[in-house]
Chain A
């Protein structure tokens, strides 16, 4: 796994840099995360580090969620132990609210290890992945930045409409993928190459320059950017 962590979007504000310029930043509450599981080529066919963020109260967590992070006493477990089957390593932490896998080599990571924001302290820029704000059924102007039609000059009741969507007798149909009104937002979006402005280990805060997908309070994945240069 490259350098990365799970977090929660707190909101936006501005800070001043050394030159006294105001910098727009998004505040992300990043970590601390536990390594919950390691994916290996032998067993899973790929390599990844599974991270868990924020605790889910035990009374709300399902049995499988609890069993994922700690060894549970069960008949099946005892039977397997008796048969000599080694159970997989458990993190031994509280059940997690949000679990995501970050692909990449697992060397240097152990199950149960805690990952804090300082993992990104030396990183210049990050990619932040989240689910964008859902905007429901949106028209072409909002969804595809169409220009709409004129306010006057004979335009009637179609000021925000797309206008023509196709050709004529040939091909007598609308091409697939033509931009039209429809569901907007609520999709997985990655904001790439956001500069890391500040890392606050004491409060688990990460400040990145610019906006991050999703509403305040949404979970986001922060990874070192894969953008070159």
Chain B
């Protein structure tokens, strides 16, 4: 009963179309930021290394390397500030959290690309 009421409260902010991405994806996160009174889109791109939480409180972490320094940014999945997410590349990953990437540098950071099996004909 209580959980249903809480879900009801959260559901107001749920996205109509859920963001389609997975751990290991190389993504562009389009975030809306306010500059003065103008709104513009800023793109933050990197690898999704984790998804945590559930329902309206779900978060995801995007890791990228800026000027040789690892940077991680955490976003709420249902944040209205996220305009959209573009998946540039998917990878073959065998775990839900890719924290082992934090210890790696250079070539070893690469993940193997996952190619969709195209069932045509």
The interface stretch among A6-14, A91-99, A221-229 is A6-14
Report whether A16 and B80 are in contact in the complex, using a CB–CB cutoff of 8 Å. yes
Complex Cα spacing A199 to B3, Å: 18
Q: B80 and A11: CB pair below 8 A?
A: no
> Known: A16-B13, A16-B80, A20-B79. Contact between A11 and B6, CB under 8 A?
yes
Q: How far is the CA of A19 from the CA of B10 in the complex (A)?
A: 17
Number of interface residues of A (CB under 8 A): 19
Q: Does B2 contact A (CB under 8 A)?
A: yes
Contact partners of B13 in chain A: CB under 8 A: 15-16
Query: Is A14 touching B6 in the complex (CB atoms < 8 A)?
Result: no
With A and B bound together, what is the CA distance between A174 and B109 in angstroms? 64
* Cα(A229)–Cα(B3), bound, Å: 35
Check if A203 is an interface residue, CB within 8 A of chain B: yes
**Residues of chain A from 1 to 31 with CB closer than 8 A to chain B in the complex:** 10-11, 13-16, 19-20, 22, 25, 27, 29
- Which residues of chain A (179-195) have a CB below 8 Å from chain B? none
Given A20-B79, A22-B76; A15-B10 close (CB under 8 Å):
yes
A216 to B32, CA, bound (A): 36
A25's nearest neighbour on chain B, judged by CB, is B9
Answer yes or no: A217 CB below 8 A from chain B CBs.
Answer: yes
Min CB gap A31→B, angstroms = 14
Chain B hits for A29, CB < 8 A:
5
Task: Tell me the complex Cα distance, A193–B34, Å.
Answer: 29
Interface residues on chain B, size class = 10 to 19
CA distance A19 to B2 in the complex (A): 28
Smallest CB-CB separation from A204: which chain B residue? B5
| Contact A207–B79 (Cβ < 8 Å) | no
Determine if B2 and A13 form an interchain contact, defined as CB atoms under 8 angstroms apart: no
B10 in contact with A10 (CB, 8 Å): no
Residue of A nearest to B32 (CB): A20
Residues of B within 8 Å of A22, CB to CB, are: 76, 79
Contact in complex: B6, A203 (CB < 8 Å): no
Contact A27 B6 (CB under 8 A): yes
From B3, B5, B12, B76, name the one whose CB has the most chain A CB atoms within 10 angstroms.
B5
Docked-complex contact B81 and A20, CB < 8 angstroms: yes
Asked if B73 CB lies within 8 Å of chain A CBs, one says no
Smallest Cβ distance from A194 to chain B, in angstroms?
16
B59 vs chain A, min Cβ distance (A)? 10
A217 with B8: CB separation less than 8 A = no
A15 & B81 in contact (Cβ 8 Å cutoff) = no
Q: What 1/0 mask marks residues of chain B from 63 to 77 whose CB sits below 8 Å from any chain A CB?
A: 000000000000010
Contacting pair B6 A13 (CB below 8 A): yes
A205 contacts partner chain B, Cβ-Cβ < 8 Å: yes
Q: A16-B79, A205-B8, A205-B9 are in contact. List 17 more A-B contacts (CB 8 A).
A: A10-B6, A11-B2, A13-B56, A14-B10, A15-B9, A15-B12, A15-B13, A16-B78, A20-B32, A20-B79, A22-B79, A25-B9, A29-B5, A200-B9, A203-B5, A203-B8, A216-B2
For this complex, 5 residue pairs linking A to B, each with C-beta atoms less than 8 Å apart, are A10-B5, A10-B6, A13-B6, A13-B57, A16-B13
**What residues of chain B have their CB less than 8 Å away from a CB belonging to chain A?**
2-3, 5-6, 8-10, 12-13, 32, 34, 56-57, 76, 78-81
